[in-house]
Amino acid sequence: MLSTTSCLLKKTAAANVAAPLNAKLASTFSASALINGSKLSIRPLSLTPLCLEENKTEIPKVDTTVDVPPKEAEAAPEPPKEEPKEEPKGENSNCKNGKCGKEFCTCKAIVMLALAGLAGTAYYYYANRDQQTFGDDYTVVYVLGGPGAGKGTQCANLVKDFGFVHLSAGDLLREERRREGSQYGELINNYIKEGKIVPAKITIALLENAMAKSKSKRFLIDGFPRKMDQAKKFEKTVCKGKFVLFFDCPESVMLERLLKRGKTSGRVDDNIESIKKRFVTFKETSYPVVEYFDKQNKVKRVSCVNTPQKVYSETKAIFKELFDAEEKAKKAAAAKN
């Protein structure tokens, strides 16, 4: 039982403190005068609503700057301290581990939601960024051509003579397919078997990672981009290509080479059914990428029907011309300074 005095005191103090607060906070907290008489303290209590029930008269508004006189405060018996009610734990609360109360769990959920929101926003800006990861000091050459045209064969030569790092998109995908625990293994396998183009985000992530791991600034990106969305995304977010080296080869020649290689390669797509599908994808989806760069005067064509040596001598001449021109420009710039 509360004495009338303590109840009144509590009402007055509650009015002092509760007045500026909103209704919700006022019902959660009440205030009580302390023995030293000059201070007011707030503590969580459920007494205030009870007192208001006993005496329905309006709580007088008191100027909050006026201190409670020490004597009066001393005379007033301290109201019985009520233990704060414990939140139910375990099964009855939101908390799964039973160690904390409902409110804490709500806070935790809010913090987690906020973090998830932040991570989502960061990813959105990263994925849609306009800035390329690798700048103008990088030389990226896209090596394109139909299946079996000889892209891989010629890239191996260019690596030896010009210090390029060779990144074959197909090889990276096959490696990812083999990687233990890869969530994309099965998907990649199905796409390759069907001669379809694996979703751009997977291939681009593999290429970007491989470029970042390498210390080189010269890359031959073999068999990529082979779809317009890949081309645009890579150019916008990873690196701009210098030019496209396009190996031109008739289907009949490519078919013969692939069937021959299929006897020993172990590749799931070196069989007649997959090869036919690859040819269709090349014509319908990949060749438009070559045309897209052609409109920008960025395609260098090399016929691939000759022997590997002959094809390489023509290819080498293109790169020699490129690097000679770059060297010349550098020297001219140095002479100016």
- Positions in the binding site for ligand UP5 (CB under 6 A): 145, 147-153, 168-170, 173, 191-192, 195-198, 203, 223-224, 226, 257, 261, 269, 278, 304, 307-308, 311
Classify residue 238 by its DSSP letter: T
Least Å distance between CB 257 and ligand UP5?
3
Helix axis angle, 251-265 to 272-281, nearest 10°: 140
Classify residue 194 by its DSSP letter: T
Judge if the upstream peptide bond of residue 225 is cis by omega within 30 degrees of 0: yes
Say which entry of Mg ion, ligand UP5, none residue 176 contacts (CB below 5 to 8 A, set by partner kind).
none
The beta-strand segments (E) located in 100-173 are: 139-145, 165-168
Nearer to Mg ion, 152 or 199 (CB): 152
Least Å distance between CB 255 and ligand UP5?
11
Nearer to Mg ion, 10 or 151 (CB): 151
CA distance 322 to 164: 14
- How is residue 89 written in tokens? 């734990």
Give the distance from CA 284 to its chain's centroid: 31
- How is residue 244 written in tokens? 């496209």
Cβ–Cβ < 8 Å for 159, 165: yes
Residues that bind Mg ion (CB under 5 A): 151-152
Nearer to ligand UP5, 76 or 147 (CB): 147
Say which entry of Mg ion, ligand UP5, none residue 278 contacts (CB below 5 to 8 A, set by partner kind).
ligand UP5
Nearer to ligand UP5, 92 or 303 (CB): 303
Least Å distance between CB 286 and Mg ion?
13
- Look at the block and give the residue holding tokens 């994925």: 127
Residues forming beta bridges with residue 218, ordered by sequence position = 139
Say which entry of Mg ion, ligand UP5, none residue 51 contacts (CB below 5 to 8 A, set by partner kind).
none
Say which entry of ligand UP5, Mg ion, none residue 241 contacts (CB below 5 to 8 A, set by partner kind).
none
The residue at minimum Cβ distance from ligand UP5 is 170
Say which entry of Mg ion, ligand UP5, none residue 145 contacts (CB below 5 to 8 A, set by partner kind).
ligand UP5
Least Å distance between CB 171 and ligand UP5?
6
Instruction: Tell me the backbone φ, ψ of residue 54, rounded to 5 degrees.
Output: -65, -45
Tell me which H or E stretch contains 253.
helix 251-265
Least Å distance between CB 261 and ligand UP5?
4
Nearer to ligand UP5, 17 or 150 (CB): 150
Cβ–Cβ < 8 Å for 268, 165: no
Say which entry of Mg ion, ligand UP5, none residue 307 contacts (CB below 5 to 8 A, set by partner kind).
ligand UP5
CA distance 72 to 8: 12
Nearer to ligand UP5, 218 or 278 (CB): 278
- How is residue 294 written in tokens? 């052609």
Nearer to ligand UP5, 59 or 259 (CB): 259
